[in-house]
């Protein structure tokens, strides 16, 4: 119930005009994608970035995250770690010399 009320409040700005962020691809109204966008797992990070690629608000999202120096998560299609954009996330440890086919080692 609180999530529904909160989502309704966010659908309009203070002036009662429609909120442009209501169209964000990551906004499902329930916060169900939060774990995906703040995961440490490479497949989750790749999935979050894929959602961002389909979003019409990718650029303002990224600019806002850079301005706020977001500490972590996927914002605007980029992975933030310690307030900076991390181009690629690798698995822990040394990469294998001959990785098996179909295995994603970076996101």
Q: Mean pLDDT throughout 41-52? A: 94
Taking residues 40-68, what's their average pLDDT?
94
Domain ranges of the chain: 2-86
CA distance 66 to 44: 21
Decide if pLDDT at 79 tops 60: yes
Highest mean pLDDT among 2-6, 25-29, 47-51, 100-104: 47-51
Average pLDDT, the chain: 81
Q: Please, how many CA atoms are within 13 Å of residue 53, restricted to the half-sphere of its CB?
A: 6
pLDDT surpasses 90 at 107 = no
Place of tokens 């650029």: 59
Q: What does the pLDDT read at residue 38?
A: 96
Q: How far apart are CA 90 and CA 106, in angstroms?
A: 5
pTM for this prediction: 0.69
- What value does the mean pLDDT take over residues 24-35? 91
Query: Across residues 52-72, what is the average pLDDT?
Result: 95
Residue 89: name the closest of 76, 67, 69, 73 by CA.
Answer: 73
């Amino acid at each position: 119930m609180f999530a529904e009320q909160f989502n309704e409040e966010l659908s309009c700005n203070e002036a009662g005009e429609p909120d442009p962020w209501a169209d964000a691809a990551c906004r499902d109204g329930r916060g169900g994608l939060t774990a995906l966008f703040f995961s440490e797992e490479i497949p989750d990070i790749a999935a979050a970035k894929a959602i961002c690629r389909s979003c019409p608000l990718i650029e303002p999202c990224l600019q806002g995250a850079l301005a706020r120096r977001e500490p972590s998560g996927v914002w605007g299609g980029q992975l933030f770690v310690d307030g900076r954009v991390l181009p690629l996330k690798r698995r822990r440890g040394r990469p294998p010399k001959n990785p098996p086919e179909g295995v994603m080692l970076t996101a």
